[in-house]
Structure 1
Amino acid sequence: MMTSVLFVTWDGGGNVPPMLAVASEMQRRGHAVRVLGHPSQRAAVVTAGLAFEAYSTARSWTALKPRSGLRADLAYAAVFADRRLGRDVVRSARRSPVDRIVVDGLLIGALSELCRAGLRYTIFVHTLRAAMYRAVVRGPLGAVLHVRGLRPAHLYEIAELELVVTDPLLDVRPRANAASIVHTGPVFAERATQSTFDDPPAEVLVSLSTTYVHGQAELLQRIIEAIAPLPVRVIVTTGPAISPDEVRPSSNTDVHAYLPHADAMASASVVVGHGGHATTLLALAHGIPLLIIPTNTSFDQPVIGHVIAAHGLGLTLDKRASTEAIRDAVVELIRRRSYRDRTGEVGRRIRGAPNGAVVAADRLAGRAATAG
């Protein structure tokens, strides 16, 4: 039986690829798929071979625009609370009815409008569920959403399904509404393999956020300087928000605007990252220890850093950490065998499980219900 699905996303960087992977898997199976998002996402969606529809009345947005501090937090909160975005979703679903509406779990304004319109929806959680739920219900973002008259906890509770595209053993499973929460496992565009980092020389991959974060170029420079004295090869990817010209490489460092992480991780000994979910889980799938330095403390990065450290999969430092602290952490991750043993175990388990996109597509196709 063919299922029609409307995927609802926003221009946020790492949240986009896993949803597009699930949408592509649905389309590969013959289901009807379209993606609703910000105009800046058109190229990525079309390149993935999917039908794209832009929001017609929602406020314009791109995650690459420079913002800092409180201004950045409020700008993101405005996107997540945007009811106009939700009304665009409702209009799209009524104009071309679908069986499923799958909405990024941060878009609380969209969920609220779907609830008001009596349309059922599936929540797509692109990171640890514990981190996303905590962010929208508590803390600064939760406070902004409540002030705007939104009820995130209720909107999560009434969802017909939650697809959580992460490793269930790293997440905290909620007690309430657990039957409708499905941990699919992480979604990868390419198959991961065990890193060959036991073969010298050691290699360190440094990759921070693909979105604009104030001070990120300075942090990249500090990481480069911290690792410069070590007898290792360093690969740095800056992403679209930073030009490679903004950092000064040392003699052991190669800087790239973009490099497929699956290729770079094939021989990496350590990954230094910001705690982004996608890069973190891909490193674990390759069996690589991590040094997490959160660049944005308002969402999931500190939570992911804490989980990595608590499970013995790596270390976490504050973004103000000194070059000496960063260097010491990298040396410890390379030298101490326990980190490699633990990440190796987790990597084998992740690689042996089905791709999360396949599991998510199975659930969407198997539990189709008219969304209106």
Structure 2
Amino acid sequence: MTEPEPLNFLFATAHLGGNVSPVMPVVRRLVAAGHAVRVMSDGVNRPDAEAVGARFVPWRRAPNRTDRAPQGDPPDWSVSDRQGIGMVAGFLAGTAQAYAEDTIDELRREPADLLVAFDMLLGPILGAEAIGQRLALLGTMISFFPLPGIPPFGSGLGTARTEEERTVHETLRAETDAVFDSALPALNAARASFGLAPLDHLADQWNAAAVHWLGTAEAFDFAEAVLRPNMRYAGPLLGDPLWAETWHSPWEKDDARPLVVVGFSTSFQNHAGVLQRVIDAASSLPVRLLVTLGGPIEPDALVPAENTAVVRSAPHLQVLKDAALVVTHGGHGTVMATLVHRLPMLVIPHGRDQADNAARIVERGAGLAVARTAPTEEIRAALARLLTEPEFRRAAGTLGDAVAAEARASSLIADLEALATSADADRSDQVADRRALGA
């Protein structure tokens, strides 16, 4: 029996926060299976790609960050959540043509059986549509564009229980769609440059994909979500960033105080102040507090308490094995890692999807949420509840069991291979047809 031919995958992504690290284990597994895999992203992600055995291709026309300096992070933290969504939508639509042209150039240089694009990045999706490239989308969180049945991205609302709440959600979805569609002229101009018809909504660009995998757990999302026809849940995508430093505990091995891990955004969200309030809140509690900064905040910006260790980074998947509680901004990667370790969490959202993740945690009883403006006393009270009231850990265990089960059962690698193989077969049939016509 002959071995199947290796397949060629091109992953198209960008350095937009915590979206690259979760995808690298997927790339690693495809490389380990013998496939040819390229990662096209910002130059700063070259080490991530090469560490998992992929070939790296930088963006040329499209934005291309070469470092993680906070000055390059989007300033969406400085505006309202809705304005932040508009800011991101404007960037995604305004850069679509450049990303599309780079993607097309790379596919012409070396064809791929399957293009796997980060779902928020509209340009590679447009490029694939323009040249008829087989395309899959891979997200790293809940749906970015609004879905029927659930509150829209950025709202931070829970499940609608009454008719009045359902009406509020419908109104918010319509308003959020309008914010997204304010960027539609730029996307349609890019589409026109490739001879493609205009779209009615920005989200319609997602329809170009054969399959759209959401890199989250179905058990985590709201059950009322009505997915788009090409959408599937991939299960959680788990992976520590390459740049996470080796962890050595500064505490004695027999220190029995519970470990509280604090991990906020790896991009700048002006969060030094709330980190300090978390440190101050925990200073009078019988805990060990580990604060992982993730890059945008310097250690000297904080004043640690006696029970606090501040580090630039640490591998969360390792550290959480010894933790009792997590304090987080609510980034999807940290939330998933916390859940698979069956830990309760205190979520302090700063924007983006973070309030939405907090709503899902709070509704399941797996944690608490406070505003980023919460005073030290409120944070301390929340920490004390999470550490002493066992129902939070039980609920986190129940939800975590379901999330971990989806991670174990994920067929994402086999599904990517099957989709790429079908694309390869389609091309072989087309070649055979052309040869027959020419015979």
TM-score (norm 2): 0.75
Mapping 1:190-209, distance limit 5 Å: 200-209=256-265
Counterpart of 2:111 in structure 1 is 97
What letter corresponds to residue 246 of structure 1 in structure 2? Answer: A
Identical columns (%): 27
Q: Name the SS for the 1:36 alignment partner.
A: strand
> Aligned equivalents of 2:267 and 2:362: distance in 1?
24
What letter corresponds to residue 59 of structure 1 in structure 2? Answer: P
8 Å CA contact 2:261–2:326 kept in 1: the answer is yes
Between structure 1 and structure 2, the one with the greater Rg is 2
Shift of residue 153 of structure 1?
2.2
**Residues 161 and 146 (structure 1), Cα distance of their counterparts in 2 relative to 1, 3 Å cut:** same
Q: 2:31 aligns with which of 27, 30, 37?
A: 27
Counterpart of 2:69 in structure 1 is 64
Shift of residue 347 of structure 1?
2.5
Moved more, 262-271 or 313-322: 262-271
Residue by residue over 1:258-303, the C-alpha shift from the partner in whole angstroms, topping out at 9 and shown as x without a partner, is 11112221121210001111111111111100111112x2x21111
Moved more, 252-261 or 166-175: 166-175
Shift of residue 103 of structure 1?
0.6
Shift of residue 77 of structure 1?
4.1
Q: Name the SS for the 1:44 alignment partner.
A: helix
What letter corresponds to residue 126 of structure 2 in structure 1? Answer: S
8 Å CA contact 2:31–2:53 kept in 1: the answer is no
Shift of residue 229 of structure 1?
1.1
TM-score (norm 1): 0.88
> Aligned equivalents of 2:206 and 2:125: distance in 1?
9
Shift of residue 48 of structure 1?
2.4
Shift of residue 355 of structure 1?
4.2
Q: Name the SS for the 2:401 alignment partner.
A: helix
> Aligned equivalents of 2:146 and 2:214: distance in 1?
10
> Aligned equivalents of 2:181 and 2:68: distance in 1?
22
**Residues 36 and 355 (structure 1), Cα distance of their counterparts in 2 relative to 1, 3 Å cut:** farther
> Aligned equivalents of 2:146 and 2:336: distance in 1?
16
Gaps of at least 5 residues in structure 2 are 155-172, 189-200, 241-254, 428-439
> Aligned equivalents of 1:189 and 1:105: distance in 2?
18
Q: Name the SS for the 2:24 alignment partner.
A: helix
1:281 and 2:344 are equivalent in the alignment: no
> Aligned equivalents of 1:149 and 1:189: distance in 2?
32
1:186 and 2:198 are equivalent in the alignment: no
Mapping 1:4-43, distance limit 5 Å: 4-43=8-47
Q: 1:339 aligns with which of 374, 392, 399?
A: 392
> Aligned equivalents of 1:40 and 1:74: distance in 2?
26
**Residues 206 and 140 (structure 1), Cα distance of their counterparts in 2 relative to 1, 3 Å cut:** farther
Moved more, 300-309 or 73-82: 73-82
Gaps of at least 5 residues in structure 1 are 191-198
> Aligned equivalents of 2:374 and 2:9: distance in 1?
45
Q: Name the SS for the 2:322 alignment partner.
A: coil
**Residues 110 and 317 (structure 1), Cα distance of their counterparts in 2 relative to 1, 3 Å cut:** same
> Aligned equivalents of 1:141 and 1:23: distance in 2?
33
**Residues 132 and 177 (structure 1), Cα distance of their counterparts in 2 relative to 1, 3 Å cut:** closer
Counterpart of 2:370 in structure 1 is 317
Q: Name the SS for the 1:170 alignment partner.
A: coil
> Aligned equivalents of 2:415 and 2:210: distance in 1?
11
Q: Name the SS for the 1:166 alignment partner.
A: coil
RMSD: 2.6
1:80 and 2:92 are equivalent in the alignment: yes
Residue by residue over 1:121-171, the C-alpha shift from the partner in whole angstroms, topping out at 9 and shown as x without a partner, is 111110012677655993686144324245432122332001222111111
8 Å CA contact 2:114–2:419 kept in 1: the answer is no
What letter corresponds to residue 251 of structure 1 in structure 2? Answer: E
Counterpart of 2:414 in structure 1 is 362
1:116 and 2:125 are equivalent in the alignment: no
Counterpart of 2:404 in structure 1 is 351
Mapping 1:168-183, distance limit 5 Å: 168-172=218-222, 174-175=225-226, 177-178=228-229, 180-183=230-233
8 Å CA contact 2:27–2:52 kept in 1: the answer is no
Q: Name the SS for the 1:341 alignment partner.
A: helix
1:228 and 2:283 are equivalent in the alignment: yes
Shift of residue 223 of structure 1?
1.0
8 Å CA contact 2:86–2:180 kept in 1: the answer is no
> Aligned equivalents of 1:89 and 1:135: distance in 2?
28
